[in-house]
Amino acid sequence: MSSKIPRAFYFRSTLRVAKDLLGQLVVRKYRGRRLVGRIVEVEAYRGSIDPASHAYRGRTKRNEVMFWEGGHLYVYFTYGMHFCANVVTREAGIAEAVLIRGVEPVVGLDVMERLRGKNISTFDLTNGPAKFCKAFGIKRKQNGVSLLGNEIYLAHGRRVVQSRIGVSTRVGIRSGIEKRWRFFEKGNRWVSKQKRWQL
């Protein structure tokens, strides 16, 4: 298995981290099984300078983990039914993070299929932030997990070269809609919104 990504990776510019996350592996230990996926789509959120960020108006009980030092998982509940997972970046107190939007499943597809439910196609397993969390068993309990630990962590994968990185505005937000802070691997079938964005 590839080596774990060190904490220094997360302390850099959030936009740089977001691009460099493409191609890296997210590893989840789930009930004695190992689930592995390759990150293919992300969105950056930049705290107090970003009106789309949960931390734009300051620290709250909900967004507390965003203010921790880089290398933690920030998990939030949305629309009363879905969990989404973010990689916290930068130094403590800055409150920036990268949303994991799309993951290409690599190991443990049978477990992912069971967690997602019956009759889910392989290409629909993890092609969205809520789908990813459900397939990897990520819920409120995983909020604040250290990505330097063993429950959930990121490992070195096959990095996406610059010419294969697509860039667009972010999805499903009402503020900061002009910022082109969504990055994805062009042509990968696990990228969400395939029809809307020309890959």
CATH number, domain with residue 100: 3.10.300.10
Indicate whether 77 belongs to any domain: yes
Per the CB < 8 A criterion, the answer to whether 98 and 85 are in contact is no
> The domain containing residue 122 runs over which residues?
7-185
Residue 167 has pLDDT above 50, yes or no: yes
Q: Which residue has the higher pLDDT, 177 or 118?
A: 177
Indicate whether 102 belongs to any domain: yes
Indicate whether 193 belongs to any domain: no
Identify the pLDDT of residue 1: 58
Domains of the chain: total: 1
**DSSP 8-state secondary structure symbol assigned to residue 113:** H
Report the Cα 111 to chain-centroid distance in Å.
19
* The token pair that represents 155 in the structure block: 């490992």
Identify the pLDDT of residue 101: 98
Indicate whether 199 belongs to any domain: no
Phi, psi of 25 (to 5 degrees): -105, 135
| Residues 29-72 pLDDT 10s | 999 999 999 999 999 999 999 999 999 999 999 999 999 999 99
**DSSP 8-state secondary structure symbol assigned to residue 3:** P
Q: Is the pTM of this model over 0.75?
A: yes
Collect all residues with Cβ–Cβ distance below 8 Å to 81 and sequence separation of at least 6.
Answer: none
Identify the pLDDT of residue 199: 42
| Residues 121-154 pLDDT 10s | 999 999 999 999 999 999 999 999 999 999 999 9
Q: Among 49, 47, 23, which Cα is nearest to 102's?
A: 23
**Helix, strand, coil content of the chain in percent (nearest 5):** 20, 30, 45
